[in-house]
Structure 1
Amino acid sequence: MDFTTSYLGGVLICLITGTAHGLDITSQGSTSIEMASGQSVKLDCQFTLASQDSGPLDIEWSLVASDNQKDDKMVILYSGDRAYEDYYPALKGRVHFNSPDPKNGDASINLTGLKASDTGTYQCRVKKAPGFGSRKILVTVMVKPSKPRCYAEGPTQVGKDVVLKCVSTEGTIPLQYTWEKTSDSKLLPASALLDPVGGSMNIRNASNSYSGTYRCTAKNRVGMDECVLQLDITPPPNTAGIIAGAIIAVLLVLIIIAIILFCCCRARYKKKYEKEISYEIREDVPPPKSRVSTARSFTSVGSQRSSLGSMSPSNLHEYALKPQYDKIPSVEDYERPPSHAPLPPPVNVKVGGPNLSRMGGIAVMIPAQNRDGSIV
């Protein structure tokens, strides 16, 4: 506080007395500098001392705050015959005094590897009591345009409106775009409309003569870059042919799909049919019919023959009158169901034992039978 009070008192005394002999900033260069990013810049701050400036030398470089409510940021300091360069982290390693010994009257500094964030007002203050001097320099770090990209927007056909675009993704505004034709007559089409800010060129009612090589240049106050575009204006396509080709292609696709579906369905049906046939029971010969009637017929025939054997000659004449007993039943009669086979008439022939002996017969026990011919 005492040093500051005495320093300010000395400055006031010099101003009041109008002393012409004291510390003086002698730099006369521009106080506004525009530089491209990545470059280096020297901020000039030359000074001279007077004989009465006998105090210690202090040199301060600060970045003035754009808002009055904020404090200035110290960038670099020289005090006590020593330089201090690590005050401002954003410029650490990129700010240095121009002279190895600023006491010789050179308080200038160098900023290297400039960035857009380095833009601001830098103030140089030199103090050597009772002398004092300062100088402000506005530094604007601009980004030069990046290499633009050239392309045609929309169809490039005869009779159509063709739009050429040129876009640079980086660069400090304002950017300015220019178009030129580098082939043939090197003249832009008469119907071309240029937009130097947006970077577009609209060509109305394009023709074959508009084909060629075009170059677009993007620039600002600190740099420029360019791109090249080859424009080919083509005849309009045969719409009818395209439609016919599209229809034929669709029909072919539908036919192919139909064939594939048909083959799949046929294969599936065939597989299903073979599977059903493999499980089907085949009958090569019809099943045999019931032999119950045949057995019954044979039983009836046996019974009749037994009856004939037990009859007397007198009874045979009566029995011979009945033709149904003269033939042996056929196979059809054997196979005919009992319900349809004719039943022989009942024979009530009774032969006694004595008569049977005289006839030379032998008594045989015949088992009893029911009407169906079954043995009881």
Structure 2
Amino acid sequence: MDFRTFWFCLINIILLTGSSCGLQITSTGSTSIEKASGESVKLDCEFTLAAVDSGPLDIEWSLQPSDNQKEEQVVIVYSGDRAFEHYYDPLKGRVHFNSPDPKNGDASMNIMGLKATDTGTYQCKVKKVPGIASRKFLLTVMVRPSKPRCYVEGPTQVGKDMVLRCSSVEGTQPLKYIWEKTTGNKLLPAMAVLDPVGGTMSLRNATEATSGTYRCMAQNRVGTEECMVEVNVTPPPNTAGIIAAAVICVLLALILIALILFCCCRARHKKKYEKEIAYEIREDVPPPKSRVSTARSFTSVGSQRSSLGSMSPSNLHEYVKPQYDKIPSDEYERPPSHAPVPLPSRMAGPNLSRMGAIPVMIPAQNRDGSIV
């Protein structure tokens, strides 16, 4: 054996002896743990110390990030003979050391009221200089299946196809659905097709023997929930009777509509007739009577015209002036600007005749406006 080989063997012996005598974690349980939400878990981390481990004891539990670029989160610490349990807010009040005095060799950690967000990789690190040891745990918090909902989809008649459905809103995958019959011979129909992942059971060409109570169980690795559904397969309905009844109903409806329309038209005609009768003129209204004074005035005008031809220009002045001055002023008053101007004495009838004027007789009027 040469010198180099001797020193290599000596160093290995020293290292093996030192590692066996230094700080060691003695827990040997599973490092992959699955728990249901709401439960509690204990992560074992028991250790032993050697005589050479003389430094202060430090225990640290941390949550390792799934992304290597992120920093680990310190969960709980024991240092200087004192425990510090409020480092990580999501676990605040739900995490503590299993032993009231971890320096006695029990660095295990308990987590109460597990949640799905507590899933992760936890590391226990124990250090007492010069000894250092660590252990990791993979904790998976699973959610129990919520109570599933069972129902029948499709017609529940003989010879028809139907589907029984079962589904849970919550629950950690993978979920598995199991169907079974709880009444009768407790055997599923021969034509049943099961889908344990989708939670359906198809029943084809159903018969009366298909009727009964069925139970669906939704389960995963941490829990099971179930629901019940009643199936009642009935004979097909009387199609001919249904059609006849439908036809009769339609005819009755048409007759009723026709009757309503007839009544409405009759009432409308009656109302129109009554309205015409109400506005009918039963006796003629006599025309308004003409004014007597007007008729009398036309008679007077005719008589005056007959006498006008016999009058000579010599007596025209005596006739016109006194009659014109007798026109009443209470019913018909002329403005002062239109008042008749009396003729001068030199403009008498003979003078007008010599000037070429035509003799005209101006009729007089009564107080009521009639010509006399």
| TM-score calculated relative to the size of structure 1 | 0.69
SS at match of 2:62: strand
1:230 maps to a residue whose letter is E
Residue 236 of structure 1 is matched in structure 2 by 236
Superposed displacement of residue 29, structure 1? 0.9
SS at match of 1:240: helix
Q: What are the within-5 Å matches in structure 2 for residues 1-376 of structure 1?
A: 18-283=18-283
Output the CA distance in 2 between the equivalents of 1:21 and 1:187. 65
Output the CA distance in 1 between the equivalents of 2:141 and 2:288. 120
Superposed displacement of residue 291, structure 1? 12
Instruction: Provide, for residues 138-163 of structure 1, a one-character-per-residue CA deviation record: whole Å limited to 9, x for no partner.
Output: 11111111111111110111111221
1:159 maps to a residue whose letter is G
Output the CA distance in 2 between the equivalents of 1:258 and 1:92. 80
SS at match of 1:20: helix
Residue 368 of structure 2 is matched in structure 1 by none
Output the CA distance in 1 between the equivalents of 2:101 and 2:272. 104
Residue 341 of structure 1 is matched in structure 2 by none
Instruction: Provide, for residues 108-160 of structure 1, a one-character-per-residue CA deviation record: whole Å limited to 9, x for no partner.
Output: 11111111111111100011111111111111111111111111110111111
After TM superposition, the structure 1 stretch with the greater mean CA deviation from structure 2, 242-251 or 92-101, is 242-251
Does the C-alpha gap of structure 1 residues 289 and 42 become closer, same or farther in structure 2, counting only changes over 3 Å? Answer: closer
Output the CA distance in 2 between the equivalents of 1:290 and 1:97. 125
Does the C-alpha gap of structure 1 residues 289 and 77 become closer, same or farther in structure 2, counting only changes over 3 Å? Answer: closer
2:138 maps to a residue whose letter is L
Superposed displacement of residue 272, structure 1? 4.0
Output the CA distance in 1 between the equivalents of 2:87 and 2:49. 26
Does the C-alpha gap of structure 1 residues 287 and 136 become closer, same or farther in structure 2, counting only changes over 3 Å? Answer: closer
Output the CA distance in 1 between the equivalents of 2:287 and 2:120. 122
After TM superposition, the structure 1 stretch with the greater mean CA deviation from structure 2, 149-158 or 15-24, is 15-24
Superposed displacement of residue 180, structure 1? 1.1
1:220 maps to a residue whose letter is N
SS at match of 1:93: coil
Superposed displacement of residue 171, structure 1? 0.8
Output the CA distance in 1 between the equivalents of 2:64 and 2:256. 79
SS at match of 2:55: coil
SS at match of 2:158: coil
SS at match of 2:241: helix
Unpaired segments ≥5 residues, structure 2:
1-13, 291-371
Instruction: Provide, for residues 212-262 of structure 1, a one-character-per-residue CA deviation record: whole Å limited to 9, x for no partner.
Output: 111111111101011111111111112222222223223323333333333
| TM-score calculated relative to the size of structure 2 | 0.69
Output the CA distance in 2 between the equivalents of 1:287 and 1:271. 27
Does the C-alpha gap of structure 1 residues 291 and 98 become closer, same or farther in structure 2, counting only changes over 3 Å? Answer: closer
2:147 maps to a residue whose letter is K
Does the C-alpha gap of structure 1 residues 23 and 289 become closer, same or farther in structure 2, counting only changes over 3 Å? Answer: closer
How many matched pairs? Answer: 278
After TM superposition, the structure 1 stretch with the greater mean CA deviation from structure 2, 260-269 or 186-195, is 260-269
Superposed displacement of residue 288, structure 1? 7.2
Superposed displacement of residue 49, structure 1? 1.3
Does the C-alpha gap of structure 1 residues 289 and 60 become closer, same or farther in structure 2, counting only changes over 3 Å? Answer: closer
2:282 maps to a residue whose letter is R
After TM superposition, the structure 1 stretch with the greater mean CA deviation from structure 2, 242-251 or 90-99, is 242-251
Q: Which stretches of structure 1, 4 residues or longer, exceed 4 Å deviation after superposition?
A: 14-17, 286-292
Once superposed, what is the RMSD of the aligned Cα atoms? 2.5
Does the C-alpha gap of structure 1 residues 280 and 72 become closer, same or farther in structure 2, counting only changes over 3 Å? Answer: same
SS at match of 2:20: coil
Does the C-alpha gap of structure 1 residues 15 and 67 become closer, same or farther in structure 2, counting only changes over 3 Å? Answer: farther
Residue 326 of structure 1 is matched in structure 2 by none
Unpaired segments ≥5 residues, structure 1:
1-13, 293-375
SS at match of 2:225: strand
1:39 maps to a residue whose letter is E
SS at match of 2:122: strand
2:28 maps to a residue whose letter is Q
After TM superposition, the structure 1 stretch with the greater mean CA deviation from structure 2, 90-99 or 25-34, is 90-99
Instruction: Provide, for residues 94-121 of structure 1, a one-character-per-residue CA deviation record: whole Å limited to 9, x for no partner.
Output: 1111111111111111111111111111
